[in-house]
Structure formats: C-alpha cells, structure tokens
Amino acid sequence: MTALVVRAARRTTMFVAALALVVVVWESYRAVGPQDGGTIAGVRILPRTSEYAMPHVWDMFSRFGRPEVRGSDRTVFESVLAGAWYSFRLSAAGFVLGGVVGVGLAVLMARFKTVQRGVLPYLVVSQTVPLIALAPLVVSWGGKLEVGPFVWPRWLSASVLGAFLAFFPIAVGTLRGLAAASGSSVELMQSYAASWTKTLFKLRFPTAVPYMVPAFRLGASASVIGVVVAEISTGLKGGIGRLIIEYAREATGDPAKVYTAIFGAAALGLTMAGVVVAVDVFVMRNRPKESIS
C-alpha cells in the first residue's frame, strides 16, 4: 500500500514537472523570440511571439475567471465546465457503446476463426476513414432514422462517432487477450469438460484483463476525440468542441479565450483516462506486479 502511494506521488510529481516545463518553454520563447517570428527566404519557420499568437500562460488562466462576454454574469470557467461536462457524458456514452461493440466483436472473432479472418481487415480499414468526412454522414443517416416513438437525437451522432473511434483498440486488445490463455490452461479446462462459454468466463476473460486495461484506456481517449471532432464538424451545441470553434473565432480580439476551451478538452480526456486507470488499479490489485501493462 505504501509502495502504491509512493508510486502515485512520484507520478504526480513528474506530471506537474512536465507541465511546468511546457510553461517555462512557452514563456521563455515568448520572451526572447522575434516578434514577427523567424523567416528564412520568405518562409516563416518560427511562430510569432505577439500577444495574439502566443498569449501569456497567466492570461489564459485568468481568462477563466472573467465573464464569457462583456457584461455577462457567467464566467468562462462556468461555460467551459458546462461544455466539458456535456461532452463528457457524450464521450462516456460513446465509450460504453464502443466497449460493448469492441468486446462483442472480439468474442465473436475469438470464437469463430472465419469471422476473425473476414472481419479484422475491415476493422483496420474502418479506422483509416477520416472522421471529419464521416461525421456529417452519420448525422444525416441518424436524422432519417425513426423507429416508432424513437427519434434520433442530434447528440447521439457525436456519441456514435466516439464509439467508432473507441471500439477499435478495444476489439483488438481484447482479442489479443482472449487468445493469450496458455495451451495447458486451455487443456485444463477441456479436461474438466468445461464448455466454451465457461472457459470464456473462467479462463479467457480473466487472462485478457491485463490486455484489456490499456486497450480501454486508449478507447476512452479515442471516444473523447471522436466526440469533440464530431461536435466541431457538425456544429453540435453544448459541448466543448463547439466552444473551441466559438472561442477560436474571437482569437483576434481575445486570444487567451480559446486556450481555456482547449484546456477544458484536455481535462476532459484526462478525466476519462483517469476513470479507466482507477478501474485498472482496482481489477489488477491482486495480480503479480510485473505482469504486462
């Protein structure tokens, strides 16, 4: 337990130190870099250091505390928090959907080699489709979908796109984990005349856990990216993605503002990953410490 605390403390320190380093680099360059950036033969190779291109870090943070628009009693912080919370719920829905689809596909592929041979290449191809191109399509398909009283809500398209990015690492990682059971442990289950389903739940899934945890971690951040990109490209209101474009439009007059939304998106991704890490620590608590991660 103490070792765990020490490790957590060390990680936190490293995280803060890395963050501080980024701030130092940003501000140092801001202080010494040329106002117009560096140009060689008309090509700009260094960014400008003007107030508009690189606002001070403290300006970004102080912007959180000031009103969103002049005269409004709602601070930027409140708006960013509300937006991040909205996107978080969409991402969580996408993550759960992607998890169910990913694990389901992995089980099918592990059960039937023909399915694996037939489906796996398409899964790989599916990830090469640019999300930006797919987003409007999903929205328009969803809009046409109406099953009885069920009407496709606009936010669901964003979640579906999150799931679209999340399911892939989950499916691949879970499949690898399901196949990781040793030959003798499979024979052991056979010797007990255990059915395929029993073997799946008593042997294959527990064996797969160390493979599934990092896969789910990737899936969690992927679902956030999917949702934020979908919000941006479909203009869905309410989420952090929309805030990023709105604030970016004000960059000329209020350059620090867009960074608040970007920080919000980063915090959102970290929160999602953090939830998965917490689950990781819980499910792996009784495993040997030198197992794969």
Query: Which residue in 27, 185, 235, 248 binds another protein (CB under 8 A)?
Result: 185
Classify 7 as helix, strand or coil: helix
- For the record, the structure tokens of 230 come out as 């979908």
3 is a contact residue toward another protein (CB under 8 A) = no
Do residues 131 and 165 make contact, with C-beta atoms less than 8 angstroms apart? yes
Binding of another protein at residue 188 (CB under 8 A)?
A: yes
CB of 218 to another protein, least distance (A): 22
* Nearest residue to 154 (alpha-carbon basis) of 88, 244, 231: 231
Q: Does 202 bind another protein (CB under 8 A)?
A: yes
Region 251-290 residues binding another protein, contact defined as CB under 8 A = 286-288
Could you tell me where the DSSP H helices lie in the chain?
2-32, 57-65, 76-111, 113-126, 131-144, 154-178, 183-191, 196-199, 205-234, 240-249, 257-283
76-84, 135-143, 182-190, 222-230 -> range binding another protein (CB under 8 A) = 182-190
- One of 13, 39, 190, 293 touching another protein (CB under 8 A): 190
Rounded to the nearest whole angstrom, what is the least distance from the CB of residue 284 to another protein in the complex? 9
- Is 214 an interacting residue with respect to another protein (CB under 8 A)? no
Nearer to another protein, 204 or 217 (CB): 204
160 is written with which tokens?
A: 């579906």
Read off the DSSP letter of residue 75: B
Q: Considering beta carbons, is residue 52 or 201 the nearer one to another protein?
A: 201
Residues 6+ apart with CB under 8 A from 110: 116, 175, 178, 179, 200, 204
Instruction: Closer to another protein by CB, 146 or 187: give it.
Output: 187
Binding positions for another protein, rule: CB under 8 A: 182, 184-185, 187-188, 190-194, 198, 202-203, 206, 209, 286-288, 291
